[in-house]
Structure 1
Amino acid sequence: MKKVLFFVLLCAVWLAPPAQAQKFGYVDTEFVFSKMPEYQKALGEIDKFTDKWSKDIQDKYVEIEKLQKTYQAEEILLTDDMKRDRQRGLSEKEREAREYNNKVFGYEGLLFQKKKELMKAPMELVQRAIDKVAVQKKLDFMFDKASDFVMLYTNPRHDYTDYVMEELGLDAASVKSTAGNAPVPKTAGGDSPATNATTKPK
């Protein structure tokens, strides 16, 4: 769906009459997010919840394993009715563990909801900055270089990443000067975002 929308937008740009030329730009949101303290804090919180829920699930299976070993050690001493009761108890524990795992890590589970909650604030900050830059620079379209569709070539003069970062209070110049000393996320096109934000469009 995103690719179809992107194609439609490109057609609108290409087919626009010269007298009504449309102005467009792009932003590398992946690079912007990687430099946002708010985003990094959210990632840290998500990791904490992931670790906690993973441990909870692991503890449940450790308990099940202990119960299984106890049952195996005592099985010879149990009556048939007692064996069935123990087996039902083990099956119930296993079912509860599976259900809890699905509740946490399943489709739109607790982890998904927590990510959505924690990422809302930084995403809204970036969106507001993009909207403001687009209005200030009189842009008709603003594309995301980090989105699903592949941008095979990007002219740096259409790159508005620096403006968005400045709107967010991030020092783009200092970020670039240190970018070579730390891993920088790759975009869908395979280029390093730091190398594509060298020239500001006017």
Structure 2
Amino acid sequence: MKKYILAILVCVAASMSLQAQRYAIVDTKFILDKMPEYKQAQESLDQFSQQWQKEIDNKQAALDKMYKDFEAEQVMLSTELRKKREDEIFVREKEVRELQRKRFGFEGDLFKLRQELVKPVQDKVYTAIQKIAVARMYDFILDKSEGITVIFADPKLDKSEDVLKELGVK
């Protein structure tokens, strides 16, 4: 009877180990930072962002000057001229806000440019991760770059270097 129970326990343990999930951990931020295409895309995004921010700052400075001039001259202006200047300032403020929204808002120029430049590189990384997962029969792969998905990770599980190798990046 003891042999029979022992045999059943061994079979159960063996079947459990066969069904154990295989997983790996990667750090996509680490991988992307090592890729020259990603660095170029980020530099390009930074250049456009700085250029657009400078454009907005210039318009804001002109608006501020216009407002200061209005404040200084307000007492000497007729009601009609004061109303005209206030309307002009209001229109300029609206233009600055609209330009800022157009450049940096949700689905603005920066968002579209990021999609155009960075998304292909990210897709390339995800494709490489998927190839490794299929080839090595991983059940799932966790991304530790987000910080929320993994609290602790054994360094031997990190397959980021393998993904870089798959991408041909050193």
- Aligned to 1:25, the other structure's residue is in SS state strand
Identify unmatched segments of 5+ residues in structure 1.
1-15, 172-202
In structure 2, the residue matched to 1:60 is 59
In structure 2, the residue matched to 1:131 is 130
Aligned 8 A contact 2:63 2:93 in 1: yes
Matches of 1:143 and 1:75, distance apart in 2: 62
In structure 2, the residue matched to 1:160 is 159
Greater helix share, structure number:
2
Aligned 8 A contact 2:142 2:150 in 1: no
In structure 1, the residue matched to 2:34 is 35
TM-superposed deviation, 1:73: 4.6
Matches of 1:55 and 1:109, distance apart in 2: 16
- Aligned to 1:26, the other structure's residue is in SS state strand
| Residues 138-157 of structure 1: pairs in structure 2 closer than 5 A | 138-157=137-156
Aligned 8 A contact 2:22 2:140 in 1: yes
How many residues align? The count is 156
What is the aligned-residue RMSD (CA, Å)?
2.0
1:90-144 per-position Cα deviation (integer Å, ceiling 9, x unaligned):
1111121122222322233322222222211110111111111112212121111
Report which stretch shifted further, 72-81 or 24-33: 72-81
Structure exhibiting the larger radius of gyration computed from Cα positions: 2
TM-score after normalising by structure 1 = 0.69
- Aligned to 1:146, the other structure's residue is in SS state helix
Matches of 2:90 and 2:167, distance apart in 1: 53
Identity %: 35
Q: Is it true that 1:102 corresponds to 2:112 in the alignment? A: no
Report which stretch shifted further, 37-46 or 95-104: 95-104
Matches of 1:46 and 1:139, distance apart in 2: 35
Cα pair distance change 1:69/1:152, threshold 3 Å: closer
Identify unmatched segments of 5+ residues in structure 2.
1-14
In structure 1, the residue matched to 2:116 is 117
